[in-house]
Amino acid sequence: MLSAFARAFRTPDLRRKLLFTISIMALFRVGSFVPSPGVDYQNVQACVASGGASDILGIVNLFSGGALLQLSIFALGIMPYITASIIVQLLRVVIPRFEALHKEGQSGTAKLTQYTRYLTIALAILQATTYVTMARTGQLLPNCVVIPDDSLMASLLVVITMTAGSGVIMWLGELISERGIGNGMSLLIFTSISASFPPALWGIAGGNGGPQKFTIVVLVSLLVIALVVFVEQSQRRIPVQYAKRMVGRKMYGGSSTYIPIKINMAGVIPVIFASSLLSVPGLIAQFASPESEWVQWVQRNVVSSSAPLHITLYVVLIVFFCFFYTAITFDPDEVADNMKKYGGFVPGIRAGRPTAEYLDYVITRITTAGSLYLAMVALIPTITFLLLDVGTNIPFGGTSILIIVGVGLETVKQIDSQLQQRHYEGFLR
């Protein structure tokens, strides 16, 4: 792998793409430490160091690389774009116009991308306003004066700066996708999460963990990573045979191929959706009186990650969203119609409706295993770290590991394919 990496840097075109990608990732990390105008950076650093942040915002702060709690210019991170992309994708089921654009090809995809950008800016304004309000009322960092100037113009300036930062992040991600290596948005998330690992490991080794707990955390993380790599590389291959047909004087078809179906077709989306929904009751409870009985019940049973009800709801939501997202992204009827149109069929299965029913049967069985796998990966690190009493805000949860491994595998595959195009030996053997 190291020799292939050296060959990649000796290839001028590939070296230029790799250096461009690394430069954008470094620029993204620099922006995470630049404070927004009007924010008292020293007070923010003192409050973050004292651990006064809310646990509800942990996953959002993780995806921003710690920039959210510092209210930097990149405080919103990539989350507004991810949320907008998911919303536009889900609206294809509700709005026929979006589905028609999706089927138009490149022009329709460009139009949907434009809608996603507009929605990203709207969500960025909403989230920036929410976080600035929480910072001024003490909900973001309790007992901390984050924005000394209470005037409306000062808060508006912070909102505009954070919204502009979200737009810049969206632009940087698109630059990586066009001129670099890999998916730009995924690599920016990868950068944010990876940046949180060294401080977390240092905190476990030198804080309340010690060498024994540090070793256990590393071993559990490596075990989960190995499991994720094994499952993410696994797939069910449905054989497809194409009949021979004459078009003019030429004969087409007669070839054999397969439909690759991954065990985890939904990726990390179900885990993100489940975490987001479970955080809603806690966010609502923060605006009520802490002495209220229902607020205490929510904090004790829904917000607390060690509560049995929280774990049960987490698993149920992951399984539900796994089936829901797979049903949206893979349509057995559409696949069966396309196969029938071009003379393809599954051996032993009649074309048309029987093929669609067979594909639906296979997808249901695979998604069942995939949803249970996602739930297990999401819970194993959390339960282990709770038993070890090393804290729940460390970035080694199932969501982080899934994203890190998934983005890493996809990027290595893209580098490998470009090396093979130049007749080099790639990373994967």
pLDDT digits 0-9 by tens, 67-89: 666 778 888 888 888 888 878 87
Q: Do both 34 and 183 map to the same domain? A: yes
115 with 218, same domain: the answer is no
Share of the chain above pLDDT 90, in %: 6
Q: Do residues 109 and 237 share a domain?
A: no
Residues 20, 161, single domain; the answer is: yes
Whether the predicted pLDDT of 245 surpasses 70: no
- The pLDDT assigned to 122 comes to 92
Band of residue 118 on the pLDDT scale cut at 50, 70, 90: very high
Region 137-150 average pLDDT: 73
Q: What rounded mean pLDDT belongs to the chain?
A: 78
Q: What are 180-227's pLDDT values in tens digits? A: 888 888 888 888 888 877 777 776 666 555 677 777 777 877 888 888
Domains: count for the chain: 2
CATH of the domain at 406: 1.10.3370.10
Are residues 242 and 220 part of one domain?
yes
Question: Distance between CA 24 and CA 266 in Å, rounded?
Answer: 28
360 and 244 within one domain: yes
Contact 102, 329 (CB under 8 A): no
| Half-sphere exposure at residue 201, Cβ-oriented, CA atoms within 13 angstroms | 12
- Candidate from 88-92, 204-208, 266-270 with smallest mean pLDDT: 204-208
**Residue 266 lies in domain:** 197-394
218 with 185, same domain: the answer is no
In the structure, what pLDDT confidence band is assigned to residue 381 with cuts at 50, 70 and 90?
Answer: low
Measured CA angle at 270 (ends 89, 198), to 5 deg: 110
Contact between 72 and 31 under an 8 Å Cβ cutoff? The reply is yes
Pair 353, 339: CB distance under 8 Å? no
Locate tokens 């774009």: which residue?
A: 81
Is 212 found in the same domain as 250? Answer: yes
Beta strands in 243-283 (DSSP E): 245-247, 250-252, 256-262
The whole-model pTM stands at: 0.76
How far apart, in whole angstroms, are the C-alpha atoms of residue 105 and residue 96? 15
Strand-pairing partners, residue 262, are: 235
More confident residue, 251 or 267: 267
Residues 59 and 116 in one domain: yes
Q: Answer yes or no: are the C-beta atoms of 310 and 301 closer than 8 Å.
A: yes
Mean pLDDT of 125-139: 80
What is the pLDDT at residue 36?
83
Rank 52-61, 83-92, 418-427 by mean pLDDT and report only the highest: 83-92
Higher pLDDT, 265 or 58: 265
Q: Are residue 29 and residue 164 in the same domain, yes or no?
A: yes
pLDDT on residue 41: 74
Q: Give yes or no for residue 34 having a pLDDT over 80.
A: yes
* Amino acid 396: pLDDT: 57
Contact call for residues 397 and 197 (beta carbons, < 8 A): no
Q: What is the pLDDT of residue 344?
A: 81
* pLDDT on residue 5: 64
Q: Do 70 and 2 sit in the same domain of this protein?
A: yes
Q: Are residues 134 and 242 in the same domain?
A: no
